């Protein structure tokens, strides 16, 4: 049975992105920069959490695979 996407990590990445961007809109951040804040987390787990955050509308992602993310207005609102 497939594992559920890591919702707690998706929330943490959303909040980390808010901190990195100081809550400013339209600020893209490289996925690797977010990954540095979670050095013990496997890349596949980070990717799954980012995909969940994007699916929930908290972030927008760029690239395939995603290499940059930014918070949406909803993501910024929830992270405050």
Please report, for the chain, the start and end positions of each structural domain, with discontinuous segments joined by +. 7-79
DSSP helix/strand/coil, 30: strand
Residues 14-62 have pLDDT tens digits of 999 999 999 999 999 999 999 999 999 998 999 999 999 999 999 999 9
DSSP helix/strand/coil, 71: strand
Q: Which pTM was predicted?
A: 0.91
Burial of 53 from C-beta contacts in 10 A (0-12 / 13-18 / 19+) = buried
pLDDT of residue 80 exceeding 60: yes
DSSP helix/strand/coil, 26: coil
CATH number for the domain formed by residue range(s) 7-79: 1.10.10.10
């Amino acid at each position: 049975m497939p594992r559920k996407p890591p919702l707690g990590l998706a929330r943490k990445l959303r909040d980390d992105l808010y901190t990195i961007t100081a809550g400013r809109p339209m600020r893209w951040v490289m996925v690797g920069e977010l990954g540095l804040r979670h050095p013990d987390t496997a890349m596949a787990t980070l990717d799954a959490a980012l995909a969940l955050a994007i699916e929930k509308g908290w972030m927008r992602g760029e690239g395939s695979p995603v290499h940059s993310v930014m918070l949406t207005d909803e993501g910024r609102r929830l992270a405050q």
